[in-house]
Structures are given as structure tokens and as C-alpha cells.
Amino acid sequence: MRRLYALFIVLVALVISPVFATSTQYKRVLTQESHANWGLNAPIAVFAAQVHQESNWNVKAISPVGAQGLTQFMPSTAKWIAQRYPSLAINQPFNPNWALRALVVYNKYHYDKIAAKTECDRIAFTLSAYNGGLGWVQRDKKKAQAQGLDPLLYWNNVEQVNAGRSRANFAENRGYPKRIIYYWQPRYITWGNTVCLHD
């Protein structure tokens, strides 16, 4: 009975939360873009959690380093993705529809280039690449293998390896998948498929 009551309290808190109210207006677009680019098994709860982490669902967000909009694309990355994908050709990081499509497409780009033993590990690698770049993921995997760790496992393997980032950048990058998957994702469990929560 206590668990049911606790779940009820959490759900009520989410419903009255201003962030939850803001995020709900983008649920349909995120779901459509996720299904269009990833298929019906898209990890929508992960993507919603990622947007929460990136901007707290603020379409006007600008980070101290210049990342822009709902999904916090750096201008150079926004320019690259707009040139690479015709559906994103009009570079508009402050447009929520463009931003959500860009997040889903950019995640898929990384996901398709990353090998992993489990879906949970692959999504963690994908999030790490979104945050810090695919090149760092590849260098970390190579260094992990050289150290006798499994380069196909993120958690407790590649996660522990730093191929040369600053201490602050490494800490941020390693915290990024954890916060999204284990802290924010449970708040969006009703949005769609989850990853790692039942492993």
C-alpha cells in the first residue's frame, strides 16, 4: 500500500510540475519524430529525459558555451546536421520541431555507428557521443580495450576510461548518461519505451 501511495504522490507531483506541463506540449512531436527515425520501438522516454537534461524544456535556452534551444545544439553541430540531412536543412535550433527532430536524428546517427553488447550499453554510448562527440567514444573504447576492459560494454568498462578529456569534461560526460537514464527517464516512463530500467 505504501508503494502505491508513493507512486501516486510522484505522479501528482509530475502532473503539477511546470516542467512537466511544458514538456507535455512537445510529446506528440517527439513521439512522431522518434517513430519516423527509429521505428515503433524508439526509446522515447530516453529522448524526453535527454531534452529535460539539455534545456529543462526551454526553447529559448542558451548555454554558457553557446549551445542553443530545446536540445542544446552548438552552432557548428546545427550547421553540420542541417547540411547532412535534408529534413533539417533549415537550421533552426530555437524551433522546437526542428530541435526535436535534430535530437532524434543525431542520436540515430551515433547509435548506428556504435557497437555494444546490450541495448542499455549502446544507448549509454549514444548519449555519451551526443554530449561529448563520437570521436571521444571511439577513443575511450580503444583505450578500454588496451586496458583489458570490454569495449562493447559502457557500464563499468568504457565508462571508467578517459582517453584525454579534462577532468571537468570527463565528469560531465560520464554523468550525462546516468542522469538521463536513471534520474530523468523514470519521470517520462509513460511517454514510451524505456532503456536500462528493467535490465
Position 110 in a domain: yes
Position 2 in a domain: no
Position 162 in a domain: yes
For position 21, what pLDDT does the model report?
62
Please give the DSSP secondary-structure letter assigned to residue 62: B
Of 28, 26, 33, give the one whose Cα is nearest residue 51. Answer: 26
Averaged pLDDT of the chain: 93
Position 84 in a domain: no
User: Domain tally for the chain?
Assistant: 1
Position 67 in a domain: no
Q: Confirm if 42 and 192 have CB atoms less than 8 A apart.
A: yes
**pLDDT tens column, 132-149:** 999 999 999 999 999 999
Position 136 in a domain: yes
112's enclosing H/E stretch is helix 96-113
Position 86 in a domain: no
Position 163 in a domain: yes
Residue 32 structural domain:
25-61+104-191
